[in-house]
Amino acid sequence: MHHVTLERWSRGTSALHRRDPRAKTAALLTFLVVVAMTRSHLLAASVAWLAWLCLAAAWARLPLGGVLARAALVLPFGMVFAAVSWAAGDPEHAGSLLIKSYLSAAAVLVLAGTTPVPQFLNGLERSGVPRFLLMVVQFLYRYLFVISEEAQHMRTAARSRGASVGGIVAHRARFRAAGGALAVLFARSYARAEEIHRAMMARGFEGHFQPLGTFRFVAADAVFLLVAVPAPLVIRLLVEKAVP
Amino acid sequence: MHIPDGFLAAPVWAGLDAAAVPAVGYMVRRAQQGFAETRAPLLGVMGAFVFAAQMINFPVGVGTSGHLVGGALLAYTLGPAAASVVMTAILAIQALVFQDGGILALGANVLNMAVVGVWAAYLPFRLWGGGRGRKWALFTGAMLSVLASALLAIAELVVSGVKLPFPVLVVSVVLFLVSAALEGAITVVVMEALETVQPDFVHRPAAGRPYAASALAITAVLLAAVGILFASTHPDGLMSLAGAAGIAGRARPLVSSPLADYELRFFSGPWPRKAAAGIAGLLLIYAVCAMVGRWVSRSRSA
Amino acid sequence: MTPLVEVRGLRYRYGDGTVALLGPNGSGKTTFVLHLNGLLTGEGEIDVCGTRMTAASAPAIRRKVGLVFQDSESQLFMPTVLEDVAFGPLNLGFSAAEAEKQAREALARVGMAGAAGRAPYHLSAGEKKRVAIAGILAMEPEILVLDEPTTYLDPPSQQSLAALLRELPQAKILVTHDTAFARVLCGRAVFFRDGLIAGEGRLDDVIRQFAWE
């Protein structure tokens, strides 16, 4: 599954993995903003930006092909709009949609592939994002695949009894059965949440989650920040100078 | 529908990101009143449930498929503020881990689906969910949830300059209506099944609420969204329609409202002007939603 | 719908060894066990380790009674193994550094020292059970209560679990359907039926008395 691959990538040990998540997030955001605000020289700059991302991925020892392929997940959505733009006589806009969405996805992948989600959330918490929200995200992520697996089991069980859970069905009975299955999944999830609550209480939970990991912002992080944050803009300016 | 990065114009994504921050902050505070930090795991797990449920695809048309969005279901079982927080968490994970939706566009997606989507579902439920029309309240709420978020997304795209010729627009709206109806049907069926499986999940709001004013507000919100959409793409179309219907003369004062011809004085150049006017229109919609929401909750405690 | 459990005069001391709680599903074994650390409260009195169970004393008692739930997936709710095992110590007021140290020690004791950075989702059932036990051990309890620990475990994992439990010095209470597993570890047993304790005594005697095999 997608998640598992990304999980695995994110637990690597390269220098990029070890950087403070806040620094990496800042670098990502500036990259995204610079790309988003670029209109002229887009194609040339994009080649340079893509090279920059590939460099980062290589430094992080991420599989290049994998990253580039996963980023392409955004393209189908863009294709429709791009096709419409092209047909309406604006091929530049069509290209822009595809290029920008692809580059952004690739950049996010580099962050996600070098930062485990809990660390990323930790960085967000120390940047002022409300803890309650982050805890919800943390638990969502933790149980995402547990519950998806349960859903898969239910689908398989239903299919082996002749139902097709995945079709838009004319028969009310089958529709109801699918709704019933979702209700059961809901109830199971709720029951699991209560189990978790009991497990938390059993280990002395008093109402506040205490963070364990502390990232110290070290010199290497400062250097990274100074290089990675301005880089997309510098690249853009260089491209503008080089390409008439 | 999750908008990726690269589609929205800078004032649009930046403005919506800025608007999303206080909106989410407000939802978090409200959700915490009902759920102390101890309950964060519950919300997280229910978010995982919706996520898992979203992975089941229901074919909607040629080459497109829909799925349970879940905003309505969450609103009905957890309450709207908690539902907004859960949907925000879902959208964040989708953007970060699944590349479904952009990061800069997260504000827009959050406002569309986690805020408007959830509260648009909750209003009919709050008003009519306690009485005999309960099934319809659930259905309408869920439909409204998907429809409102989809229309807003389209509006944001159009305002950002993404080309949407009329036929494509019509096809999209038809698809949205089908997905919305599907969401309504699924939500109703799941809620009914839940009542058998675990009755204490399901809220039963007090019956007999005055609904005329709120129905008007909801309709106004939807019309505004659709109106901005059409006006942005086909101002000429609208004018010629008006002429054909013989009200061209009267159309003038109608159009010279504060956002006349979507012109705002302090922007030079046509594109920023249009976009800024579009944003103002969108913010107006959100403000109306917020006001109606506060009115409903105040009359609830009355 | 919670079955009532009535316990009169049930007393256990260290010398009694590991106790097995046997009985049909729904007979109240898990309900009983949830009373031992105050997660459930009912009428009557419970004294644990010499302390009367009250709302005020429950937190302290919870530290002494370590409960390992049947479903490890719900018990290992933190994103990484280390964070999960450190959850207990952190709640007890230890600093992050101390909590981490205790967590690592506990992981070493159950033989899972290398798993500290891993996500619980990827562990096998046997590994999850060990980490769950580590999470409890990190709180330094006096009593270990395990609810159906062999569910989801294949025979080799069951054997390593039995070996691990035998090494641990704490008094142990084992809710189990697995009489073979009980035989390896337990000297005494209590038999539950319909929310009441129907009998107690030596394990073999109880099994024979209730034809529980």
- With beta carbons under 8 A apart, name residues in chain A contacting C63: 204
Give B94's contacts (C-beta < 8 A, 6+ positions apart). Answer: B2, B100, B101
**A114-162 pLDDT, tens digit each:** 999 988 998 998 888 999 999 999 999 999 999 999 988 887 777 676 5
- Do A9 and A85 lie in a common domain? yes
Q: Which residue in the set A117, A142, A199 is minimally distant from C75, CB to CB?
A: A199
pLDDT tens, residue by residue, C153-206: 999 999 999 999 998 988 899 999 888 898 888 888 888 888 888 888 888 888
- Read off the pLDDT band of B194 (50, 70, 90): confident
CA of B241 to nearest chain A CA: how many angstroms apart?
Answer: 23
Top-confidence residue, B293 or B190? B190
Residues A35 and A91 in one domain: yes
What angle is formed at CA B60 by the lines to CA B58 and CA B65, rounded to 5 degrees?
60
Residues A77 and A98 in one domain: yes
Contacts of A184 in chain B (CB under 8 A): 193, 197
Q: Do A138 and B193 touch (CB under 8 A)?
A: no
**If pLDDT is split at 50, 70 and 90, which confidence band does A209 have?**
confident
Q: Regarding predicted confidence, which is higher, B223 or A210? A: A210
C198 phi/psi in degrees, rounded to 5: -90, -15
From chain C, the residues in CB contact with A13 under 8 A are none
Chains touching A (3+ CB pairs < 8 Å): B, C
- CA separation (Å) from A93 to A39, A84, A99, B164, C172? 9, 10, 10, 12, 69
Residues of A in contact with B78 (CB under 8 A): none
Nearest CB to B97: which of A28, A112, A187? A112
Distance CA B202, CA C98 (A): 44
Q: How far is B122 from chain A (nearest CA, A)?
A: 19
Alpha helices in chain B (DSSP H): 10-34, 40-54, 71-78, 80-97, 106-109, 117-128, 134-159, 166-197, 212-233, 235-244, 248-255, 270-301
CB burial readout C42-75, b (16+ within 10 A) else e: eeeebebeeeebeeeebbebbbbbbbbbbbbbbb
What is d(CA B25, CA B2) in angstroms, rounded to the nearest whole number?
21
Helices and strands (H and E) in chain C: how many: 9, 8
User: Residue A231 corresponds to which amino acid?
Assistant: A
Euclidean distance between CA atoms B153 and B116, whole angstroms: 11
Q: Is B22 on the interface with A (CB under 8 A)?
A: no
Q: How far apart are CA B80 and CA B71, in angstroms?
A: 9
pLDDT cut 70: percent of chain C above it: 92
Residue C132 structure tokens: 């769950």
Would you say residue A207 lies in a domain?
no
In chain A, how many domains are there? 2
Instruction: With CA atoms as reference, report the closest residue to C148 among C66, C30, C11, C3.
Output: C30
**Are A95 and A82 within 8 A, CB to CB?**
yes
**DSSP code at position C121:** G
Q: Which of A84, A150, A209 sits opposite B168 (nearest CB)?
A: A84
Q: Select from A33, A101, A175 the Cβ nearest to the Cβ of B185.
A: A175
B41–A200 CB contact, under 8 Å: yes
**What percentage of chain B carries pLDDT values higher than 70?**
61
- The reply to whether residue A204 touches residue C62, judged by beta carbons under 8 angstroms, is yes
Compute CA distances A72 → B153, B201, C35, C71, whole Å. Answer: 22, 40, 54, 38
pLDDT band at B185 (very low <50, low <70, confident <90, very high): confident
Note whether A108 and A169 are same-domain residues.
no
- Residue A1 exposed, middle or buried by CB count within 10 Å (0-12, 13-18, 19+): exposed
CB-based contact B2:B110 (threshold 8 Å)? no
Q: What is the per-residue pLDDT across A158-208, written as a single tens digit (0 to 9) for each?
A: 767 655 544 444 456 666 777 788 888 999 999 999 999 999 999 988 878
Mutant choice from C40, C121, C152 vs A, greatest count of A C-beta within 10 A: C121
Instruction: Report yes or no on A235 lying in a domain.
Output: yes
Q: What are phi and psi of B209, to 5 degrees?
A: -95, 150
- Distance separating alpha carbons of residues B107 and B21, to the nearest angstrom: 8
CA distance B204 to B208: 12
Query: Chain B partners of A190 at a C-beta cutoff of 8 Å?
Result: 42, 45-46, 198, 201
Cβ distance B131 to A56 under 8 Å?
Answer: no
Residue A41 belongs to a domain: yes
Residue A208 lies inside a defined structural domain of this protein: no
The pLDDT assigned to B200 comes to: 67
Residue A194, H or E segment: helix A172-202
Please report residues of B whose CB lies closer than 8 A to that of A123.
none
Determine the topology of domain B10-301 in CATH: Arp2/3 complex 21 kDa subunit ARPC3 (1.10.1760)
Which of A197-211, B215-229, B245-259, C9-23 shows the lowest mean pLDDT across its residues?
B245-259
CB contact under 8 A, A186 and B49: yes
What range defines the domain where residue A220 resides?
5-124+214-242
Answer yes or no: do A105 and A139 share one domain. Answer: no
Residues C23, C195: Cα–Cα separation, whole Å: 10
A15 and A108 assigned to the same domain? yes
Show Cβ contacts of residue B150 under 8 Å, excluding neighbours closer than 6 positions: B1, B112, B172, B176, B179, B180
Q: Which of B42, B99, B164 sits opposite A109 (nearest CB)?
A: B99
- Chain A positions in Cβ-Cβ contact with residue C99 (cut-off 8 Å): 212
SS3 call for B22:
helix
CB contact under 8 A, A139 and B48: yes
3 state SS for C22-77 = ECCCCCCHHHHHHHHCCCCCCCCCCEECCEECCCCCHHHHHHHEEEECCCHHHHCC
Residue A16 sits in the same domain as residue A85: yes
Give the distance from residue A130's alpha carbon to the nearest chain C alpha carbon, in angstroms. Answer: 18
Chain B hits for A74, Cβ within 8 Å:
4, 99
Say whether both A115 and A221 belong to one domain: yes
Asked if residue A209 is part of any domain, the answer here is no
Kindly list the domain boundaries of chain B, sorted by start residue.
10-301
